[in-house]
Amino acid sequence: MKPVEVHRMIEGPQDAPVLVLSGSVGSNLDMWLPQREALSGEYQVISYDHRGHGKSPVPPGPYQIADLAGDVLAMLDQLQIEKAHFCGLSLGGAVGMWLSRYHPHRIDQLVLACTSSWFGTAEYWADRAESVRAEGMDRLAEATLGRWLSKDFTDAGQRTAIRTMVANTPQDGYISACSALGAWDFADQLAEIPTPTLAIAGAEDAATPPDHLRDIAAAIPRSRVVVLDGAAHLANVERPVEFNDLLRAHLLG
């Protein structure tokens, strides 16, 4: 599928190392606010919306992970960036794995957060897409909060912002991304990733449990895993200080 020009935000010094932040299905670049605020003084931070999400174009689906990764490559080419650090969470982690496997010369250090080499069956994601088609994004947004945030996360403002972010995701874009997640099965290719990799799991993440990240770290040759207590799927939001410290340390090599 032809690449699309995704909506992005570039923050930080132009001469600093580049860090690309790639989010979850149903998100937009605002899910990375804790990292953008903390790291944009040290890195040129590029956060972006996947195709079909946020303010990016919504081309006809279905999508594949390779399509979403192709958008990132096109963005780097347009910005004349030869190599970048990459941090992806959930769907964004799949994009990072694909890029590091097939274009390792473009990725410096890789961080895979709350993600998986297999997100579930195609039938599961087809059912999710059908539910969204029938009921819309608003109902999905309420259910998503229970998966993305732990029960002890009580910041009402952030909960409302995340719910709104999911609800405002274009329905067709979300459905098309469900196809990408349902077709994703990368376990047998992890050993081919040469990039130094940090895997971060949320101890209370039911969507991509810690064992998924442990399996990823066990398969990628130059990798390690850290599990953050008190975090569910959006570990970067629930444990931002610890997440950012891990990110900084890994990017420094």
List of the chain residues with pLDDT < 50: none
Q: Is 139 helix (H, G, I), strand (E, B) or coil?
A: helix
pLDDT of residue 207: 97
pLDDT at 1: 86
- The residue whose two tokens read 């999911």 is 166
Sequence-ordered alpha helix ranges (H) in the chain: 33-39, 65-78, 91-102, 122-135, 137-148, 156-167, 171-183, 210-219, 235-238, 240-251
Could you give the CA distance from residue 17 to residue 41 in angstroms, rounded to a whole number? 11
How far CA 75 is from CA of 1, 5, 51, 98, in Å, comes to 15, 7, 12, 16
pLDDT the model gives residue 104: 98
b/e 90-115 (16+ beta carbons within 10 angstroms → b): bbbbbbbbbbbbeeeebbbbbbbbbb
* C-alpha pair distances (Å), 69 with each of 51, 136, 212: 10, 27, 21
Question: 211-244, pLDDT tens digit by residue?
Answer: 999 999 999 999 999 999 999 999 999 999 999 9
Can you give the pLDDT at residue 253?
84
